[in-house]
Chain A
Amino acid sequence: MKKSIISDAIINIFLMIFAVIQIFPLYWLFTFALKDNNEIFGGNVAGLPQHWRWINFKIAFIEANVFRYFLNSLLVTAITILGVLVISATAAYALERMIWKAREAFLKTILLGLMVPIHAALLPLFLVLSRLHILNSYAALIIPYIAFGIPMAVYLFTSFFASIPREMEEAAAIDGAGIYKIFFVVIFPLIKPALATVSIFTFISTWNELMFAVTFVNKAQYKTLTVGIMSMVGAYTTKWGEIGAGLMIATIPTIIIYLLLSKQVQDSLVAGAVKG
């Protein structure tokens, strides 16, 4: 019995050390985002700030244009989530519940998208978007983001639809409801958990996406946070406090969502892995 108390203590120390390693860079970010260079470079490297310089946030937000990038990210992410939800839920319903011949083939085609690495589509997409004259627009990001979000969403939605009993639809059909009414009024409310999973998943991947954003957008007007922060870092090289504030602004929404819904966030990000 005593032996197990000691080994529990050792285990907890090990896990605590690891927890510190995982969290410390973030804590450090929080502290230097609120300091000036004198303090960061002058000895108080990792302690709490002596003077909390909230002005760093103001500078990042307004002078460094991060507020604009933030709004862009918000807009792009919101439309992407909405698009992925509607397009994937309808397709998944047709694929899982409705009766038609080529179902399997279409499902396989969509799921093929799970295997496609985005870097391979980068150049062809860049050329297509440039030919359509929509590089440097919200659409240049939203359309590819939706496209690459669909396969995983369809995959999750189809498995969710498969778990819903058919009685609900049958009852609605007997009452004379048509297919659209069945889907939007009867089914849609039932799939809330799946909608949440897909939304969180899409949020995290869109909010953090870098490769498309850096390639398809170079006008400040349309930059999202990831690219925006990259250019801010270029302009503020040595001003760690201001950069730190910018990084915090990019991170806070994700952290808030995570703290509020940590279980759901974890589940959505590993959903594909566990079910597959």
Chain B
Amino acid sequence: MNKILSNKKAITVFMAPAMLIIVVIVLVPIVISLYYSLLKWDGIGKATFIGIENYINLFGDERFIASVKNSLLYVVLSLFIQLPLSLLLAIVVSNTKKLEKFYVTVFFIPVIISSVVIGQLWQKVYNGDYGLLNVLLRSLGYSGHDWLGDEKTALMCSFIPNLWQYIGYHMLIMYAGIKSISTDISEAAKIDGANRFQTAMRITIPILKPIIQVCVTFSLIGALKIFDLIFVLTGGGPFQSTEVPTIYMYKTTFDQMHYGYGSAISTFVIIECFLFTAILRFIFKNREDA
């Protein structure tokens, strides 16, 4: 048996395609991207090595700083509005007797739909003339508004569909976690006289902590990398008011052909993700020790 399982030729045949494609298409490009971020290069002419100048310029670039601030606002919304709502839904749904499956199925639907479709749909919800939102407001006696066309409202309005789409995703992860908690524990709490609210606060949420940590991490990284929906909804406009780093990176790289500078932005996003993940781990770990 062991002889068969240590067949070197078979191991090579099994491993080679995966390793080749991962190294060439996923890992090497990241290294190349790091290298590009040290260049001044328009993609056609000669590239000049300029060290960390791109990074230094980033921090003096107001447009970049604004885009980072926008994405951080989205991080805050995800962590403090989306996740609590998902948790609330997960707890409530797991307490319903009849329609449990129905609710879970319905809440999850937006997750499987393409961001292009969702973006187009919400664009029409927000449409200044005929959008669903304005029709509703007008019928209530308010005047309409060009939600995505106005710099003041565009940012919030472009985040809402994102929050809406993934509530069901986090709800499901937490719901699965709640379902895996033994019913004995909540039964015992009930016998001790705990009501549903107390059971949720004192028992469900503490047991759920590792799962909440997963959700917080996913939600945070997802928020820092947000691209698709904003690309479809506003493309970063009007007047860059909804620009996030990935959108700025895309425009810098593919519209203005500043390959070096664009790569510096994407490297920044990667570092940001690693940094925040490390901070989260630290926070959750310290809490555990306390």
- Chain A residues in the interface with B (C-beta under 8 A): 7-8, 11-12, 14-15, 18-19, 21-23, 25-26, 28-29, 32, 40-41, 45-46, 87-88, 90-91, 93-95, 97-100, 106, 109-110, 112-113, 116-117, 119-128, 143-144, 146-148, 150-151, 154, 169-170, 173, 178-180, 182-183, 204, 207-208, 210-211, 214-215, 225-226, 229-230, 233, 240, 243, 247, 250-251, 254-255, 258, 262, 265-266, 269-270, 273-274, 276
Interface of B is mostly: helix
Interface size of B as a range: 35 or more
B31 to chain A, nearest CB (A): 9
Give complex CA distance A178, B6 in Å. Answer: 11
Is B140 part of the contact surface with A, judged by Cβ < 8 Å? Answer: no
Is B280 part of the contact surface with A, judged by Cβ < 8 Å? Answer: no
B172 near A266 (CB under 8 angstroms)?
yes
B117 near A258 (CB under 8 angstroms)?
no
A143 contacts which chain B residues (CB < 8 A)?
A: 21, 25
A41 near B130 (CB under 8 angstroms)?
yes
B225 near A21 (CB under 8 angstroms)?
no
B283 contacts which chain A residues (CB < 8 A)?
A: none
A258 near B112 (CB under 8 angstroms)?
yes
B29 near A120 (CB under 8 angstroms)?
yes
**How many residue pairs bridge A and B at CB < 8 Å?**
255
A124 near B33 (CB under 8 angstroms)?
yes
B36 contacts which chain A residues (CB < 8 A)?
A: 123-124
A211 near B270 (CB under 8 angstroms)?
no
User: Considering the complex, which residues of chain B in the window 150-166 have a beta carbon less than 8 Å from any beta carbon of chain A?
Assistant: 164
B173 contacts which chain A residues (CB < 8 A)?
A: 270, 273-274
Is B278 part of the contact surface with A, judged by Cβ < 8 Å? Answer: no
Ordered by A's residue number, 10 sampled pairs between the chains whose C-beta atoms are within 8 Å are: A21-B164, A94-B15, A113-B27, A117-B266, A120-B30, A121-B29, A122-B250, A124-B36, A147-B22, A211-B231
A120 near B254 (CB under 8 angstroms)?
no
A207/B27 contact (C-beta < 8 A), A90-B17, A121-B33 known: no
| Nearest 9 Cβ contacts at the A-B interface | A147-B25, A124-B29, A91-B18, A208-B114, A94-B14, A121-B29, A90-B14, A124-B32, A99-B6
Beta-carbon nearest neighbor of B10 in chain A: A179
- Chain B residues in the interface with A (C-beta under 8 A): 1-2, 4-8, 10-11, 13-15, 17-19, 21-30, 32-33, 36, 43, 89, 92-93, 95-97, 99, 102-118, 120-122, 124-125, 129-130, 132, 135, 164, 167-169, 172-173, 176-177, 196, 211, 214-215, 218, 225, 227-228, 231-232, 246, 249-250, 253-254, 259, 262-263, 266-267, 269-270, 273
A110 near B18 (CB under 8 angstroms)?
yes
A169 near B11 (CB under 8 angstroms)?
no
B93 near A117 (CB under 8 angstroms)?
no
Question: Which of these, B29, B33, B111, B120, contacts A247 with CB under 8 Å?
Answer: B120
Beta-carbon nearest neighbor of A124 in chain B: B29
A46 near B5 (CB under 8 angstroms)?
no
